[in-house]
Structure 1
Amino acid sequence: MDVIPCGPGFGAELRGTTLSDIASDEDTYTAVRAAFEEHSVLVLRDQDVSDDVQLAFSRRFGQPEVTKVGSQGTGTYFVVLSTIGPDGSAVPPDHRMALRAKANQLWHTDSSFKRLPALASVLSARIIPEHGGETEFVSTRLAFERLAPDMQQQLENSYAWHDYAHSRGQIAPDLASPEERAALPAQCWRLVWRNPANGRGALYIASHAYAVEGMEASAGKALIDELTAAATAPGSFYLHQWRIGDVVMWDNRATMHRGRPWPAPEPRLMVRTTISAAETDGLASMRPPFGQAAE
């Protein structure tokens, strides 16, 4: 297996291996896990991917999430990202499915709004248009390392609140349903997630983040916006141009990502599995020393 760097200081393409190889062979998995910890974003092209193959690969890295209420794939291990309606054609831009896709065009990290956040996400391309719909990634690890030492120290002991309804409200006031709001109360996590495999810290921010514990509301939001702008500065991102058979895996502890607009009304279908973080992934240090759910 070859590991080919492909981004500005992070990201790598894996060549000479398959999802099935990684799921079944201990040595291959060990090498891929090391590449994941180092590069944060891994790209595998020309994969013969199915739901079963993707799930077996994902299980190798940890426990897959069960898809939340309100998403396509609810109750399964798969998040279905689609613009295809019941009649088989692409939905119009004002359709709820299209608005949810638009929300994914905000810079974010998956599942920061959940009681158990995510270690990694695995996204496979099943049906895609010929143009558009790229995914952009930035390294919040490199962003943290670019900060002044005094700012790093301040953030190490700061906590941010994350809420699914907050990010969806940036697209439409009622995009998060009452069922989703009830199931997903706001969560609070340390602003810096240290990787126990290499000791490197990364900003843990997202479009879901709306407040900083102990700071006045506007000041906390301004800090989150400042950190997001710094992490997503021009020249800092890796842009992935999708092809059928592509699989991309990313570290939600150390990256943010966003989708780019897809041509309308062309259909597309992508499938995501999300791997929950475990204590061994540094989760214990992320919890605040106070109640987790917002009042």
Structure 2
Amino acid sequence: MDVIPLGPGFAAELRGVTLADVACDDAAYAAARAAFEEHSVLVFRDQEVTDELQLAFSRRFGPPEVTKVGSQGEGSHFVILSTIGPDGKVVPADHRLSLRNKANQLWHTDASFKRVPALTSILSARVIPAEGGETEYVSTRLAFERLDAGMREKLENYFAWHDYAYSRSQIAPGLATPEERAALPPQCWRMVWRNPVNGRGAIYLASHAYGVDGMEPAAGKRLIDELMTLATAPGASYLHPWRKGDVVMWDNRATMHRGRPWPAHEARLMVRTTISATEADGVGTMRSPSSQAAE
């Protein structure tokens, strides 16, 4: 297996290994897992992807999430990210599917709004537009390391509140349904997570984050915005141009990502599996809801 660096200090392509290799062979899994812990974003090109293979590959890294209420693929282990309606045609720009795709164009970390956060997300390209629709990644580990020592020490003791409905409200009022709001109450997570393999810290951030626990709302939001700006500074990202057969996995403990726009009339179909984090993965402490910051 060859590891080819791609991004500015993170992200790599794995060559000479397939999803099937990782799913079935312990040595291939160990090598891929080591690369994942080191590089945070891994790219596999020219894969013959099926739902069954993607799920088998995903299970090597931990327990797969069950897709949340209100999402395409609800109740399964697959999140269907599509602009294709039931009639087989691309939905209009004001359709809920399009708006949800637009929400994914905000910088975010998958599942930070859930009681059980995510270790990794695995995304496969099934139908891609002729142009656009890339996914862009930044390393919140490298962003943490760019902070001065005093700020790093402070952040180790800070907690931020994350809410799915908050991020969706930035796109359209009511985009998060009442059922989603009820199923996904705000969660409060430590703002710095440390990788249990290499000890490196990363800022745990997302567009779902709206406040810092114990901090006046405006000041907390200002700190979050400053950290988001730092993490997403020009030159800090890896932009992945998709090809059919691509599979990309990323570390939700140490990265943020966002989708990029594509022509509204062109179809795009991606399938994501998400692996829940466990205590062994260095999950940050969750704060009790009794201390929730005001929105």
* Class of the TM-score when normalised by the shorter of the 2 chains: over 0.9
Aligned to 1:270: 270
Note the alpha carbon deviations across 1:131-180, whole angstroms, 9 max, x for none. 00000000000000000100000000000000000000000010000000
Looking at structure 2, the residues matched to 56 and 89 of structure 1 have their Cα atoms a distance apart, in angstroms, of 30
CA contact (8 A) 1:122 1:248 kept: yes
Looking at structure 1, the residues matched to 262 and 122 of structure 2 have their Cα atoms a distance apart, in angstroms, of 20
* CA apart distance, 1:86: 1.2
CA contact (8 A) 1:187 1:292 kept: no
- Counterpart secondary structure, 2:167: helix
CA contact (8 A) 1:185 1:293 kept: no
Looking at structure 2, the residues matched to 294 and 200 of structure 1 have their Cα atoms a distance apart, in angstroms, of 28
- Counterpart secondary structure, 1:77: coil
CA contact (8 A) 2:213 2:292 kept: no
CA contact (8 A) 2:187 2:286 kept: no
CA contact (8 A) 1:119 1:253 kept: yes
Looking at structure 2, the residues matched to 227 and 123 of structure 1 have their Cα atoms a distance apart, in angstroms, of 26
Identity score, percent: 73
Looking at structure 1, the residues matched to 52 and 85 of structure 2 have their Cα atoms a distance apart, in angstroms, of 24
CA contact (8 A) 2:213 2:291 kept: no
Matches within 5 A, 1:46-195: 46-195=46-195
4+ runs deviating over 2 angstroms: 285-288, 290-295
Aligned to 1:27: 27
CA contact (8 A) 1:188 1:292 kept: no
1:292–1:279 Cα change, 3 Å: farther
- Counterpart secondary structure, 2:31: helix
* CA apart distance, 1:264: 1.2
Q: In the alignment, residue 287 of structure 1 is paired with which amino acid?
A: M
Q: In the alignment, residue 44 of structure 1 is paired with which amino acid?
A: F
CA RMSD of aligned residues (A): 1.1
Note the alpha carbon deviations across 1:39-87, whole angstroms, 9 max, x for none. 0000000000000000000000000000000000000000000000111
Looking at structure 1, the residues matched to 292 and 66 of structure 2 have their Cα atoms a distance apart, in angstroms, of 23
Q: In the alignment, residue 77 of structure 1 is paired with which amino acid?
A: H
Q: In the alignment, residue 51 of structure 2 is paired with which amino acid?
A: D
Aligned to 2:197: 197
CA contact (8 A) 2:164 2:184 kept: yes
> Unaligned stretches of 5+ in structure 2?
none
TM-score (norm 2): 0.98
Aligned to 2:253: 253
TM-score (norm 1): 0.98
CA contact (8 A) 1:143 1:231 kept: yes
CA contact (8 A) 1:187 1:293 kept: no
* CA apart distance, 1:287: 2.3
Note the alpha carbon deviations across 1:166-223, whole angstroms, 9 max, x for none. 0000000100000000000000000001000000000001000000001000000000
Q: Report the number of matched residues.
A: 293
- Counterpart secondary structure, 1:47: coil
Looking at structure 1, the residues matched to 243 and 263 of structure 2 have their Cα atoms a distance apart, in angstroms, of 15
- Counterpart secondary structure, 1:280: helix
